[in-house]
Amino acid sequence: IGTAPLTLKLRLIASGGDTCDPCASQIKVDERLGNYLFRVEVHDYEPASQWLTLKWSRDNGAEACAVAAMPAGFNQGDWVWEYFDNDTERLLGNHFAANPLKLRGLIKETCATPSGANEPKTYVRQWDGTIRIKLDSGALSGRDRGVALFAGAVGNQAQGRANFTGGVLKINLEHLELELSCGGKRFVPGDYWLAEVREAVDASGDTVLSAALPRGARHHYLFLGELGVDKRLVAQNDAFKRRMNFPPLTDILAADVGFTDHCVGLYAGAKNVQQALDNLCAIDADYIAYPLPNCGANEGKSIKDRLKALLDPDGDGKLTVKAALDNLLCQLNAASLPYSVPACAAGPSVRELLGLAAGDNNVAPVLDKLLCEFKANDLPLDKSDAALCGDLKVPAVVTVQDALKILCGKSGGGCAVVATSPEHLGQLLLEFANSSSAKDLWICLKAGGYPLPVLPAIANKRSLRISGEGPESVSIAFSGDTLAFAADEVILENLSLTFGNSAGRLAITADTARAHGCHFSRTSNSAGGPAMLTVAGAGNGACRMNWRDNVLYAQVKSTSGNGNLWAGSGVVGDAKVSKAVLALSKEELLADKIAYDAALNQAVTEIMAMTPDKRLAWKANLDQVVTPIGRAAAVRVAKAGSENLSLSLAQASMSYSETLAAVEGLVAQWVSYSPDCALRLVNQKVGGVIEGCQVDGWV
């Protein structure tokens, strides 16, 4: 039922008589009042939108009839009419369902029967007036005895004036003043107030109803369930389920008994006894006590002692399982993990060489030493291995580092020696040639150039092996006449050997001669010289060759024309470039492959440094040399040789390799090339495999 108090007071209304006659303003009671039961009723209330609808009648709302049997004149007068039916009369009170059909009667200012299918139209009732007001804003509309309601000040005495201030609604009706307190009050449709007006006892200005609470049916609600949008019951909370269930005492289970959780961490918000017991099965470790143990013989050197400040900061020996596990999982590491360093057996050990004392320690410092400081000089050498070299068994050799130092100083004995410089290579070969005891030498060459001077012949050896990283990265330049290698086996791998002397040669005398991935090159300025490479068997015996994927280049170069036609200063337009290109035909360079390659590199560098304009000017001059009709046949033939350089000069960006090839093609116009002897097999006893080799010369 509602809670809003209502006050009704008879209005003080003066007559319109003569103002000069004091008695003319008095009005008889039976002319202004009467005997009636005044009814104010809550027609509708919408809590969400705060719209409140009231209606009132001096006849207690008794003037009603069936629409089908309406008396004459019922539809006339200063009334408002409410159309209703049996459904709207039953649906008084508050309702939770959304948009019910025909929830309230339909109030109209004219007696016109509704036509809507869902509009009530069975009965009709007369009311003196009605008001619809929005309690949160004061917006209102309505009528009283044919007069439209309007918002006005309290002092305005006109009929229909409505004032809503401070949550209090005040309306001037035709004969009554209505005052309803609305702020924070509850309204229930169907609630009503009744005020008796008796002319024998009441006079204008009397209060006929004072702050009365509404009457009406007291509505009791029981929530049975809620239908969701899928037309299924919505699950309710545990308290609702227990209330709806309410079994007999003989059938009560733990799930039927409510539970108030005063220890959320332990019971996790359980709503009944069953849930509380179930939650105990999943109790958090933070709620389980754990006393620190006595570690007995390990007391003082256990994990507990390493982490004691974290496990037991207050020193009472009590903590929880969670605290213990958290500290173990988050704080336990090698620095807090005990480790007893062993004394180790007699003799040098890793522990001794790392400077670790035997006894109680942690894992961390031991691992730090091993991971950050452990080197070859901390690793003892196992001298019990019978196959170990005698040089490594001396007392001075204790560690692997000591052994490596000894091995680095050895140049033979099957060990590969890395030549660290050209001088080192020459020294290794010289020492090997002069040593009567050293029979084997394997030299490894890192990328780089290795100028090699005159060397004595290497003879009476078992094995000589020289290995490089590749012929393009390892280059040996021999400037002497003869490089002689005599051994049971001679092996050359992945290197390039260039002879700076036009008569320079490599003489191999061996039972087995192997060469793989090597480049051999020599240029001469005259024919008839010795072969660049000779292979023979020891003592005029047999030699088994295994030569694969090698390049042999042996050429005789000689000047056959005048290079000024293509590279003269006037043609090139750059004296420095012209000089560098013409120098490539000098006799001393044609006989020295090493010097020639250096001069060729210098010429290519000078050309690539030319400005684009100078390069284009040289190109234009070259084109004039080779294109005019009527030139001698020899000049026209030269077009192919100079055309590549002409194309390169026209490029915005010149590559080194393309420019080098183009310059060699140009120089070929006035320098002639003829094959020289590249490889000579001394007799028919020299044989084997020569496969995948490229030979530019005679064999």
Q: Cα 559 vs. chain centroid, distance in angstroms?
A: 69
Closest CA to 582 of 598, 616, 559, 605: 559
- The SS3 assignment for 374 reads coil
Closest CA to 557 of 597, 582, 523, 532: 523
Q: Are 536 and 508 in contact (CB under 8 A)?
A: yes
Contacts of 320 (CB under 8 A, 6+ apart): 285, 286, 287, 288, 289, 290
Mean pLDDT within 358-373: 80
pLDDT surpasses 80 at 231: yes
Tens digits of residue pLDDT in 80-106: 999 999 988 887 888 766 667 778 899
Helices and strands (DSSP H and E) totals, the chain: 21, 36
Tens digits of residue pLDDT in 496-520: 999 988 889 999 999 999 999 999 9
Closest CA to 78 of 142, 133, 131, 127: 127
Angle between helices 593-608 and 575-582 (to 10 degrees): 160
Tens digits of residue pLDDT in 646-690: 888 888 888 888 888 888 888 888 887 789 999 999 999 999 999
Q: Are 194 and 215 in contact (CB under 8 A)?
A: yes
Cα-based distances in Å from 503 to 408, 577, 630, 696 = 36, 30, 43, 17
Question: What is the predicted pLDDT for the residue at 258?
Answer: 84
Confidence of residue 15 (pLDDT cuts 50, 70, 90): very low
Confidence of residue 20 (pLDDT cuts 50, 70, 90): low
Cα pseudo-dihedral 241, 242, 248, 250, rounded to 10? 110
Of residues 530 and 344, more confidence is placed in 530
Q: Which amino acid is at 537?
A: G
Tens digits of residue pLDDT in 555-587: 988 887 788 888 888 888 888 888 888 887 777
Closest CA to 303 of 314, 291, 313, 295: 295
**Residue percentage of the chain with pLDDT more than 90:** 45
Confidence of residue 637 (pLDDT cuts 50, 70, 90): very low
pLDDT surpasses 80 at 470: yes
Question: What is the predicted pLDDT for the residue at 533?
Answer: 95
Confidence of residue 694 (pLDDT cuts 50, 70, 90): very high
Of residues 76 and 220, more confidence is placed in 76
**Of 445-449, 521-525, 633-637, 638-642, which has the strongest mean pLDDT?**
445-449
User: Beta strand 51-57 with 36-46: parallel, antiparallel or unpaired?
Assistant: antiparallel
Question: What is the predicted pLDDT for the residue at 650?
Answer: 83
Contacts of 364 (CB under 8 A, 6+ apart): 333, 334, 335, 337
pLDDT surpasses 90 at 187: yes
Question: What is the predicted pLDDT for the residue at 630?
Answer: 41
Structure token digits, residue 13: 């209304």
Mean pLDDT within 357-376: 81
C-alpha Rg value of the chain to the nearest Å: 61
Tens digits of residue pLDDT in 262-320: 777 677 788 888 888 888 787 777 777 778 787 887 777 777 777 777 777 777 777 77
Mean pLDDT within 406-430: 75
Question: What is the predicted pLDDT for the residue at 112?
Answer: 95
Structure token digits, residue 216: 């009406």
Tens digits of residue pLDDT in 513-558: 999 999 999 988 888 889 999 999 998 899 999 999 999 999 988 8
pLDDT surpasses 90 at 249: no
Instruction: Kindly report the average pLDDT of the chain as a whole number.
Output: 85
pLDDT surpasses 50 at 51: yes
pLDDT surpasses 60 at 330: yes
Question: What is the predicted pLDDT for the residue at 316?
Answer: 77
Q: Are 668 and 566 in contact (CB under 8 A)?
A: no
Q: How far apart are CA 569 and CA 575, in angstroms?
A: 5
Tens digits of residue pLDDT in 102-159: 788 999 999 999 999 889 999 999 999 999 999 999 999 999 999 999 999 999 999 9
Cα pseudo-dihedral 26, 31, 34, 38, rounded to 10? -80
Contacts of 243 (CB under 8 A, 6+ apart): none
Length reported for the chain: 699
Q: How far apart are CA 458 and CA 527, in angstroms?
A: 28
Q: How far apart are CA 563 and CA 589, in angstroms?
A: 15
Q: Are 692 and 549 in contact (CB under 8 A)?
A: yes
Sorted by where each begins, the domain ranges of the chain are 6-212, 238-283, 286-332, 339-374, 410-555+680-684, 560-672
The residues pairing with 40 across neighbouring beta strands, listed in sequence order, are 56, 193
Question: What is the predicted pLDDT for the residue at 32?
Answer: 61
DSSP 658-676: HHHHHHHHHHTTTEEEEE-
Cα pseudo-dihedral 66, 71, 74, 76, rounded to 10? 130
Confidence of residue 240 (pLDDT cuts 50, 70, 90): confident
User: Which of 189-193, 346-350, 361-365, 390-394 shows the lowest mean pLDDT across its residues?
Assistant: 390-394
- The SS3 assignment for 388 reads coil
Q: Which amino acid is at 127?
A: W
First to last CA, the chain: 127
**Of 12-21, 285-294, 425-434, which has the strongest mean pLDDT?**
425-434
Question: What is the predicted pLDDT for the residue at 21?
Answer: 52
Structure token digits, residue 578: 């012209």
Mean pLDDT within 36-48: 95
Q: How far apart are CA 551 and CA 693, in angstroms?
A: 6
pLDDT surpasses 50 at 628: no
Cα-based distances in Å from 164 to 55, 133, 134, 155 = 17, 9, 10, 13
User: Which of 22-36, 131-145, 345-359 shows the lowest mean pLDDT across its residues?
Assistant: 22-36
Helix (H) or strand (E) segment spanning residue 238: helix 238-245
Q: Are 286 and 265 in contact (CB under 8 A)?
A: yes
Q: Are 167 and 182 in contact (CB under 8 A)?
A: yes
Q: How far apart are CA 170 and CA 597, in angstroms?
A: 119
Question: What is the predicted pLDDT for the residue at 394?
Answer: 75
Confidence of residue 636 (pLDDT cuts 50, 70, 90): very low
Mean pLDDT within 15-33: 50
Question: What is the predicted pLDDT for the residue at 253?
Answer: 86
